[in-house]
């Protein structure tokens, strides 16, 4: 055999070997477990680089951070004076004990008493439930951040259905929402005016708004939103073992957590849970069953049953999970993914057909094979060092946090 023929024979062998390896790999990937095609072929998966949260928080041009503004925002956040019956504060449903979320499937605002799972309605004919699970406020300063670390705080996406942009805009919405903070005290149109009038009557607030914003009449709704946003921009938890690992400390994560991180990428969780917040901030139809407590079903974004991908940071503090608190723990969430929106065992897709489910969900590999690793990896995304300070008093003299 001359040199040339030997070379081409070798390269043919290499090509054949590569081809067969590739087809084995793609079979295994399509099948999600590589054990002979017992499951349906899977859809697409996307790959993204892993990235960590920035150390600094960006602020919008029209609301720069200042210590006095942040202090004011903290007091307003804890003060039930901004609710109709003066019993509900932002902190009622976003409490540091529960990672600035709430240990309750769907929220109880007006007419409720108690904190977290102890909260219940206390009147005979109460205002209905808030239809969704309270989201954590930790790191909402970074909402919308993409895998390259770019984000714009002035247009940051908010809520499970992405219906608001920026912390400043979001902050005024619970105040005017009937079930959350308004109740029967005033109409939707009068809500902000009534709350502002109350704040103007309190000398301590007048002085703090003047210090924070200046101008002839600083106590206005816009500045109320700005102060609340400025405070929330300080609720940062960006020093998890994962963040430290990604910034170079390879001892920050255990070997099993590193394997979980790999599985998270290989299985395809990262198709939707990507970027530094582990969210693409896009809507996806997963088919999580509705919450039976709701009289009117929640059909998500434009009645498509889609909800925004949530962040996976700090899940240790924010159970229960999903837009309606349907799952009490992360084992249940993984079991849900194991069925990939129905699958052979069927039954978790809330009347949706399989075709209506997100192709990226249908394309998922099998989380069942890596359950321990995935749970350990999710644990590496918790940062315990966030601000848990509860003010001893608020300027209205009411109970900080409301009736909790």
Site string for ligand HEC, 75-114 (x = CB under 6 A): -------------x-x-xxx------------x-x-----
Contact flags string 326-345 toward ligand HEC, x per CB under 6 A: ----x--x---x--------
Angle between helices 188-200 and 203-213 (to 10 degrees): 100
Q: Residue 68: in which H helix or E strand, if any?
A: helix 67-78
Pairing of β 306-308 and β 283-285: antiparallel
Nearer to ligand HEC, 21 or 41 (CB): 41
Give the C-alpha separation, 273 to 253, whole Å.
Answer: 19
**Cβ-contact 83, 402 below 8 angstroms:** yes
Residue 37 CB partners (closer than 8 Å, separation 6+): 27, 31
Residue 403 to residue 326: CA distance in whole angstroms: 25
Q: Which residues contact 394 (CB under 8 A, 6 or more apart)?
A: 75, 78, 79, 81, 400
Residue among 51 and 291 whose Cβ is closer to ligand HEC = 291
Q: Does 73 bind ligand HEC (CB under 6 A)?
A: no
Q: Considering only residues 361, 394, 398, 404, which one is a binding residue for ligand HEC as defined by CB under 6 A?
A: 361
284 is a contact residue toward ligand HEC (CB under 6 A): yes
The yes or no reply on residue 202 touching ligand HEC (CB under 6 A) is no
For position 167 contacting ligand HEC by CB under 6 A, the verdict is: yes
- The distance of closest approach from Cβ of residue 260 to ligand HEC in the complex, given in angstroms and rounded to an integer, is 9
CB 21 to ligand HEC: min, Å: 26
For the chain, the first-to-last Cα distance in angstroms comes to 87
| List 170, 238, 240, 382, residue binding ligand HEC (CB under 6 A) | 170
Q: Which is nearer to ligand HEC, 51 or 92 (CB)?
A: 92
Q: Does 288 bind ligand HEC (CB under 6 A)?
A: yes
- 63 sits near ligand HEC (criterion: CB under 6 A): no
Contact letters (x/-) for ligand HEC, 204-243, by CB under 6 A? ------------------------x---------------
Q: Kindly indicate which of the ranges 30-38, 59-67, 213-221, 359-367 contains the residues binding ligand HEC, using the contact rule CB under 6 A.
A: 359-367
Query: At how many degrees (to 10) do helices 67-78 and 203-213 cross?
Result: 140
User: 188-200 and 221-232 helices cross at what angle (nearest 10)?
Assistant: 80
Question: Which of 282, 341, 307 is closest to 132 using CA atoms?
Answer: 307
CA angle 159, 165, 171 (to 5 degrees): 70
Nearer Cβ to ligand HEC (8/262)? 262
Q: Name which position in 241, 276, 367, 395 contacts ligand HEC (CB under 6 A).
A: 367
CA distance 185 to 197: 14
74 near ligand HEC, rule: CB under 6 A: no
Nearest C-alpha neighbor of 72 from the set 183, 194, 212, 241:
212
The residue count for binding ligand HEC (CB under 6 A) is 53
Q: Does 171 bind ligand HEC (CB under 6 A)?
A: yes
Give min distance, CB of 297 to ligand HEC, in A: 13
**Member of 273, 313, 349, 403 binding ligand HEC (CB under 6 A):** 273
CB-CB neighbours of 140 under 10 Å: 24
Identify the bridge partners of residue 101 per DSSP, sorted by sequence position: 95
What's the burial of 177, exposed, middle or buried (CB within 10 Å: 0-12/13-18/19+)?
Answer: middle
Stretch of residues binding ligand HEC (CB under 6 A), selected from 137-145, 204-212, 240-248, 343-351: 137-145
Q: Applying CB under 6 A, does 358 fall inside the site for ligand HEC?
A: yes
Q: What tokens does 292 get?
A: 């039976």
Which residue is listed with tokens 């005016």? 193
Nearest distance, CB of residue 103 and ligand HEC, angstroms: 13
Using only C-alpha atoms, the chain has a radius of gyration, in whole angstroms, of 25
Which residues here bind ligand HEC, judged by CB under 6 A? Answer: 88, 90, 92-94, 107, 109, 130, 132, 134-135, 137, 140, 143, 158-161, 167, 170-171, 174-175, 180-181, 228, 267-269, 271-273, 284, 286, 288, 307, 309-310, 312, 315, 318, 321-323, 330, 333, 337, 358, 360-361, 364, 367, 374
């Amino acid at each position: 055999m001359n040199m040339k023929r030997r070379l081409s024979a070798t390269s043919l062998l290499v090509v054949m070997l590569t081809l067969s390896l590739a087809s084995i790999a793609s079979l295994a990937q399509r099948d999600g477990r590589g054990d002979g095609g017992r499951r349906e072929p899977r859809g697409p998966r996307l790959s993204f680089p892993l990235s960590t949260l920035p150390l600094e928080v960006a602020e919008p041009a029209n609301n720069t951070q200042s210590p006095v503004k942040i202090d004011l925002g903290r007091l307003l956040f804890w003060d039930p004076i901004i609710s109709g019956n003066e019993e509900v504060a932002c902190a009622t449903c976003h409490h540091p004990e529960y990672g600035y979320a709430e240990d309750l499937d769907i929220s109880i605002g007006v007419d409720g008493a108690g904190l977290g799972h102890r909260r219940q309605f206390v009147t005979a004919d109460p205002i209905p439930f808030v239809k969704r699970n309270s989201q954590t406020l930790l790191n909402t300063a970074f909402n919308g951040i993409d895998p390259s670390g770019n984000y714009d705080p002035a247009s940051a996406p908010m809520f499970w259905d992405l219906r608001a942009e920026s912390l400043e805009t979001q902050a005024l919405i619970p105040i005017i929402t009937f079930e959350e903070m308004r109740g029967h005290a005033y109409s939707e149109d009068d809500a902000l005016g009534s709350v502002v009038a109350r704040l103007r009557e309190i000398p301590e607030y007048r002085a703090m708004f003047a210090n924070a914003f200046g101008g002839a009449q600083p106590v206005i709704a816009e500045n109320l939103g700005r102060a609340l946003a400025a405070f929330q921009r300080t609720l940062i938890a960006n020093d998890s073992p994962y963040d430290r690992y990604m910034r170079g400390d390879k001892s920050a994560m255990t070997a099993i957590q590193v394997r979980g991180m790999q599985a998270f990428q290989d299985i395809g969780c990262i198709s939707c849970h990507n970027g530094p917040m582990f969210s693409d901030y896009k809507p996806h139809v997963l088919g999580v069953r509705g919450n039976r407590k709701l009289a009117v079903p929640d059909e998500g974004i434009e009645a498509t049953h889609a909800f925004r991908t949530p962040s996976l940071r700090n899940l240790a503090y924010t159970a229960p999970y999903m837009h309606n608190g349907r799952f009490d723990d992360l084992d249940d969430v993984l079991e849900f993914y194991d069925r990939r929106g129905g699958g052979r065992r069927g039954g978790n897709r809330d009347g949706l057909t399989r075709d209506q489910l997100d192709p990226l969900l249908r394309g998922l590999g099998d989380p069942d094979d890596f359950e321990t690793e995935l749970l350990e990896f999710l644990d590496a995304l918790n940062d315990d060092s966030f601000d848990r300070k509860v003010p001893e008093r608020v300027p209205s003299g009411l109970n900080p946090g409301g009736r909790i």
